[in-house]
Amino acid sequence: MSARIGVVVFPGSNCDRDTLRGLELAGAEAVPLWHEQGSLDGVAAVVLPGGFAYGDYLRAGVIARFSPVMKAVSAFAGAGGLVLGICNGFQVLAEAGLVPGALLRNRGLRFLGRDVRISAERLDTPFTSLVGDGRPLRMPIAHGEGCYFADEATLGELEREGRILFRYVDASGRRAGEAGDPANPNGSLQAIAGVLNARGNVAGLMPHPERAADRLLGSDDGLPILRSLVEAASRAARQGLDSAAERAPVAVGA
């Protein structure tokens, strides 16, 4: 059975088609969810795609946070439903408080569109179970506000609880520094490229796995991330919502 996964379409989303296509390549039945709808049509997982929801006015993600569909997404996440936010979707999740932290203006101020390398810090989550061995994954970023920020207490908690999902790395897989290291494109604290919520069923990441889901695009390193989600969503659809969080992270010693 292929899992039905919803991709939210906000006014200003521009990666929704790529994400639908990427999820289909990963084996899902992918359906668009319009931002004004208050229900999720019974999907087994939700992806918030990249783009500039509501023009990114005020702050990236903040206006989208108050849309009808986000009320449904919050309730879904609260019930253990799987939610992945990519780029602008990550910004929306952070503004909604569904994942910790905030995405600040890139440290170098410029909008950046180029390939980066990230590595999965956890290989046992619904978003990374098929990523394999933690080798560097090459995929594009395309953002102006991607500098991950959280206060020190939160960063400590994320580290202790194994909730840093992806970090920027260099080609050899070495963790990037914070400022001035070209492997960390936006100056994210602790080179964080993606995080998990406490329950482990909501994740956000800045790079675009759907833009690296086919060799024709120059890399298919993003496909295992989408495949992991599709597999976890299929399992969740079979077992009911509550078990979607069965792989919630456990503390992994600091």
Q: Which stretch binds another protein (CB under 8 A): 42-50, 57-65, 162-170, 220-228?
A: 57-65
b/e map of 2-13 (b: 16 or more CB within 10 Å)?
Answer: bbbbbbbbbebb
Instruction: Output phi, psi for 59, to 5 deg.
Output: -155, 145
- Whether 35 sits among the annotated catalytic residues: the reply is no
* Residue among 34 and 66 whose Cβ is closer to another protein: 66
Per DSSP, helices labelled H in the chain are: 16-25, 62-65, 68-78, 88-95, 152-160, 223-239
Residue 89 contacts another protein per CB under 8 A = no
User: Token pair of 130, please?
Assistant: 């098929």
- Whether 152 sits among the annotated catalytic residues: the reply is no
**Binding-site residue total for another protein (CB under 8 A)?**
19
Give residues 147-186 in contact with another protein (rule: CB under 8 A).
Answer: 147, 149-151
Instruction: Report the residue from 16, 18, 56, 95 that binds another protein according to the rule CB under 8 A.
Output: 95
Q: How far apart are CA 193 and CA 114, in angstroms?
A: 14
* Residue among 151 and 242 whose Cβ is closer to another protein: 151
In angstroms, the first-to-last Cα distance of the chain is 39
Interaxial angle between packed helices 16-25 and 223-239, expressed in degrees from 0 to 180 and rounded to the nearest 10: 70
Residue 11 CB, nearest approach to another protein (Å): 17
The alpha-carbon radius of gyration of the chain (Å, integer) is 16
Q: How far apart are CA 148 and CA 79, in angstroms?
A: 26
Q: Which stretch binds another protein (CB under 8 A): 35-43, 102-110, 191-199, 221-229?
A: 102-110
Instruction: Report the residue from 17, 35, 37, 102 that binds another protein according to the rule CB under 8 A.
Output: 102
Q: Which stretch binds another protein (CB under 8 A): 44-52, 59-67, 134-142, 208-216?
A: 59-67
Residue 96 CB, nearest approach to another protein (Å): 11
Instruction: Report the residue from 107, 138, 175, 199 that binds another protein according to the rule CB under 8 A.
Output: 107
* Residue among 35 and 105 whose Cβ is closer to another protein: 105
Q: How far apart are CA 151 and CA 238, in angstroms?
A: 38
* Residue among 147 and 205 whose Cβ is closer to another protein: 147
Residue 104 CB, nearest approach to another protein (Å): 6
Per DSSP, helices labelled H in 87-174 are: 88-95, 152-160
Q: Which residues are catalytic?
A: 87, 208, 210
